[in-house]
Amino acid sequence: MNKKKKIRSYRKRDYQAFIYIAPWLIGLIVLQLYPFISSLYYSFTEYQITSKPIWNGIQNYVTLFTADKEFLTSLWVTIKFSLMTVPGKLILALAIAVFLNRNLKGINLIRTLYYIPSLFGGSIAIAMLWKVMFMDNGVVNAMLGAIGIKGISWLGDPKVALITICSLEIWQFGSSMVMFLAALKQVPSSLYEAASIDGAGKIKKFIYITLPQITPIIFFNMIMQTINALQTYTSASVITNGGPMKATYVMGLKMYKEGFSYFKMGYASAISWVMFALILVVTLLLFRSSSSWVFYEDEGEF
Amino acid sequence: MKKFTRNIAAVLTVTAMVSGSFTTVFAAEDAEYTKKEYTGEEATLRFSWWGGDDRLEATLSVIEAFEADYPNIHIEAEYGSSDGYHDKLATQLASGTAPDLIQIDPETMPTYVATNPDYFVSYDENGFDFSEFDDAFLRRQINGYYDGQQLGIPTGIAGPALLVNQDLAEEIGIDFTADYSWDDLIEWGRLVREYDSEMYLLCANKSYIATFVFYNYAKQLMGTTLYDVENGVLNITEEQMEECLNYIQALYENEVVAPASYSAAYDGDNLQSDPNWINGKYVCTFAHVSTMNVMMSACEGVKWIAGNLPMMDGALDAGWTANCPQIIAVSSTCENVDAAMVFADYFFNNPESMSTLACTRSVPATEKAREICQEDGTLEAVLMDAANICSAFGGLTPDRYASSQEGKAIVTDAIETVGYGVSTPADAAADTVAQLADLIQ
């Protein structure tokens, strides 16, 4: 009997708790859950943004994979973009972090300078700056010309344009670098000392001590950067607008054009769900693979 | 025949309107402007537009003067670039959050009206004073007239133009003032390359080739627009499409225009950023009458003229046509339509506003405004000439499918594949016609 009374009094307090979490709860329902569910519904409709949605089953998905060549192009471009930017960013971030993981005069200033590009994030201004720099008559070609190298059509050549876009993404490696730097600081120096006594060189120490010790951070960075890369939009939109010849036409841009330029919101919702499914599958695969290459000191148990 | 007669009538009217401004001796000065009274409650109106710095400065000045005269009405200016403007507007209209007064592209407006005729309020039903406007110009769909109601007001007289560096053209031996054909452009392109290997005849990107070359070439070839909207069918055949793309391929192959890979960085309305344009390395460019000033400002110290526009031998339609550069509409979600009408009246009918706005939205739509600008010295002859030239052609107005963003994107993609040499005109034509046919289904 006593137990029952206790449960009742706790229930009242539980209800009160809802008041405290109400702002977050409203945000979750209105700004995330509702758009999430409604976009799933719209993906099964013909929805012209300016009129009411009409149910058309899986037609949008059928069209995407059977009739829309542009979608398959954008899917392939997105995959290429991810394959270039994720490893590129991680390798550069790790290399710079290793370089900065030492006691030099003014090292904090240098670390800050390297982090600055990441503060700009996906900003329009930086994308515009990139565009101007890489134009045929831009500063990059001018610098190449100064050392006798013929200018490259960074934005106009379909084979090069994606690399130009990727380089902007890779340049913004600061956040990954900071995490790598923190991870490097955590590697016990005793391991290096022991390896030195055994005659290991710098490269061996890096491969057999540093890398295994920071695999949890590599894994985390890889997951986050892959998700970001698969959703990319700004640089492709601002710098090349998906061109030339659809060479930078990523899925985010395809989704935007279908939804907001052509007003096919149902079709755009279907693209967003394919993108979501792709991210989900890639993330699950990465998680599954992690057991064979990510090492936790507590063996993954909390 | 009926359509032809209607076109001729429209051409004659517009031509008479535009050229009339040179001959009329300020008769309009007699008609004094009476400011509308506003006794309603305090109102705040949102007004959105796109445009360059000149337009921004002039519009803000008019707003400032209006607010001084009407302390009860406050105007919130929402201005920016044309990039993404209509994407955002479509979302705002759908969600009921559109600004109260909206500048709209006349070729995009039909899409909005077709999906929801109630997005905009009727100026006629709200008693707007159109006495300064010429009815024959005003009451056309391209100028905001839908199903017997004026849903938008044209801000000026515009259309396609050919902006020519006259001294350079003369030096090379090219005469853009006489009649000429599309094939002449190819020949002149070769002349320019022989004259200077760093120069091109025409400054154009894929979007401009689509807008100015493809659509007009196609209309002249077919005698119709791309689609028969009433019957829901595609007019253009694969053979006709191939012919159009053949011509565009010739523009690239004969180096009439710069390589597609070069102009890719200056796509859309960004030709003025092309350093070669700035440095006078082109003889001419296609432009809208409303954007000629931007192009001229980017390349100073040049004697500019408005050139004639190319015509196909045995053309079935004139192709080139005058329209308006933008339309100002009042959103149906506007909570104080009376206040919006008062502002619109001040914007379009007040002589002070006419003087301030000058030609920042192309050659003004009303004769009175043109007279005021002429008196102020702000109406440039080259703009007037350009408006006169395109008005004189009187070609068909593009249909709403062809001028929709998706329709334009399909055509522009075809031009790009031909420009890059990735597709032959025949392959690109087959693919493009199939995509255009899908668009109407």
User: DSSP assignment of chain A, as one string?
Assistant: -HHHHHHHHHHHHHHHHHHHHHHHHHHIIIIIIHHHHHHHHHTTEE--SSS--EE-TTHHHHHHHHT-HHHHHHHHHHHHHHHHHHHHHHHHHHHHHHHHSS--TTHHHHHHHHHHHHHTTT-HHHHHHHHHHTSTTSHHHHHHHHTTPPP--TTT-HHHHHHHHHHHHHH--HHHHHHHHHHHHHS-HHHHHHHHHTT--HHHHIIIIIHHHTHHHHHHHHHHHHHHHHT--HHIIIIITT-STTTT--HHHHHHIIIIIS--HHHHHHHHHHHHHHHHHHHHHHHHHHHHH---TTTT--
Q: What is the pLDDT at residue A124?
A: 83
- Domains identified in chain B and CATH numbers: 2-157+324-384 (3.40.190.10), 160-320+404-439 (3.40.190.10)
Of A135, A137, A244, the CB nearest to B420: A244
Q: Is B87 on the interface with A (CB under 8 A)?
A: yes
Nearest by CB: A245 against B94, B265, B420: B420
CA distance A260 to chain B (A): 5
Other CB atoms within 10 Å distance of the CB of residue B144: 26
Interface contact B264-A137, CB threshold 8 A: no
The nearest alpha carbon in chain B to A136 belongs to B262
Q: B27 — contact with chain A (CB < 8 Å)?
A: no
In B, minimum Cα distance to A68 occurs at: B435
Cβ-defined contact of B265 to A257 (cutoff 8 Å): no
**Residue A68 contacts B where some CB pair is shorter than 8 Å:** no
| Residue contacts between A and B (CB atoms, under 8 Å) | 67
Give the pLDDT mean for B167-178. Answer: 95
Partner A contacted by B93 (CB < 8 A): yes
Quick check: helix, strand or coil at residue B8?
A: helix
Q: For residue B16, is pLDDT > 80? A: no
Q: Is B184 on the interface with A (CB under 8 A)?
A: no
Q: Do B409 and A257 touch (CB under 8 A)?
A: yes
Q: B88–A51: do the CB atoms touch at under 8 Å?
A: no
For chain A, 302 residues long, give each residue's pLDDT as a single digit of tens. 455 555 556 677 777 888 889 999 999 999 999 999 999 999 999 998 777 899 999 999 999 999 899 999 999 999 999 999 999 999 999 999 998 888 777 888 888 888 887 777 667 888 888 999 998 888 999 999 999 998 899 999 999 999 999 999 998 888 899 999 999 998 998 999 999 999 989 999 999 999 999 999 999 999 999 999 999 999 999 999 998 999 999 999 999 999 988 889 999 999 999 999 999 999 999 999 998 888 887 665 54
Taken as a whole, chain A contains a residue count of 302
Tell me, yes or no, if B406 comes closer than 8 A to chain A by beta carbon.
Answer: yes
Residue A143: how many other CB atoms lie within 10 Å: 12
Tell whether A158 is within 8 A of chain B (Cβ): yes
Q: Note the pLDDT of residue A300.
A: 55
- pLDDT higher than 90, residue B249: yes
Interface test with B, best of A245, A256, A264 (most B CBs within 10 A): A245
Query: Stretch B165-190: mean pLDDT, rounded?
Result: 96
Q: What is the mean pLDDT of residues B187-209?
A: 96
Q: pLDDT tens-digit profile of B367-392?
A: 899 899 989 988 888 998 998 898 88
What is the predicted pLDDT for the residue at B294?
87
Q: Which residues of A touch B409 (CB under 8 A)?
A: 257, 261-262
Which candidate in B83, B87, B92 is best for mutational testing of the A interface (most A CBs within 10 A)?
Answer: B87
Alpha-carbon gap, residue B21 to B334, rounded angstroms: 35
Q: How many CA atoms lie within 13 A of A136 on its CB side?
A: 16
Verify whether the Cβ–Cβ distance A49 to B91 is below 8 Å. Answer: yes
Q: Which residues of A touch B413 (CB under 8 A)?
A: 246
pLDDT of res. B323: 86
- Three-state DSSP at B300 gives coil
Kindly determine whether residue B115 and residue A263, on different chains, have CB atoms separated by under 8 Å: yes
Domains by residue range for chain A, with CATH: 2-40 (no CATH), 69-293 (1.10.3720.10)
Q: Inform me whether the pLDDT recorded for B350 exceeds 90.
A: yes
How confident is residue B19, by pLDDT bands cut at 50, 70 and 90?
Answer: very low
Across the strands, what pairs with B323?
A: B158
Question: Mutate which of A154, A263, A264, A269 to disrupt the B interface (most B C-beta within 10 Å)?
Answer: A263
Average pLDDT for residues B89-94, to the nearest whole number? 89
Contact A243 B268 (CB under 8 A): no
Chain B contacts in chain A segment 116-135 (CB below 8 A): 131, 135
Cβ–Cβ contact A151 with B under 8 A: no
B404 contacts in chain A (CB < 8 Å): 262
Cβ contacts of A135 on chain B, cutoff 8 Å: 265
B-chain residue closest to A263, CA distance: B90
How much of chain A exceeds pLDDT 90, in percent? 66
Asked if A257 lies within 8 A of B111 by C-beta distance, the reply is no
CB atoms B111 and A157 under 8 Å: no
Are the beta carbons of B414 and B209 closer than 8 angstroms?
A: no
Identity (one letter) of the amino acid at B363? V
Q: Which residues contact B351 (CB under 8 A, 6 or more apart)?
A: B33, B368, B372
Contact B260 A244 (CB under 8 A): yes
> Is B420 within 8 Å of A136 when comparing Cβ atoms?
no
- State pTM to two decimals: 0.83
Please name the member of A135, A243, A261 whose beta carbon is closest to the beta carbon of B405.
A261
> For residue B267, which residues of chain A lie inside 8 Å, CB to CB?
241, 243
Q: What is the pLDDT of residue B348?
A: 95
Is A241's CB within 8 Å of B267's CB? yes
Partner B contacted by A228 (CB < 8 A): no
Residue B114: closest C-alpha in chain A: A50
A49/B422 CB distance under 8 A: no
Is A245 in contact with B275 (Cβ distance < 8 A)? no
Question: Tens of pLDDT along A169-219?
Answer: 998 888 899 999 999 998 998 999 999 999 989 999 999 999 999 999 999
Residue B293 to residue B331: CA distance in whole angstroms: 30
Nearest chain A residue to B117 by CA distance is A50
Predicted pLDDT at A7: 55
Query: Tell me: the pLDDT tens digits for B38-91?
Result: 888 899 999 999 988 889 999 999 999 999 999 999 999 999 888 789 888 988
8 Å CB contact of B275 and A137: yes
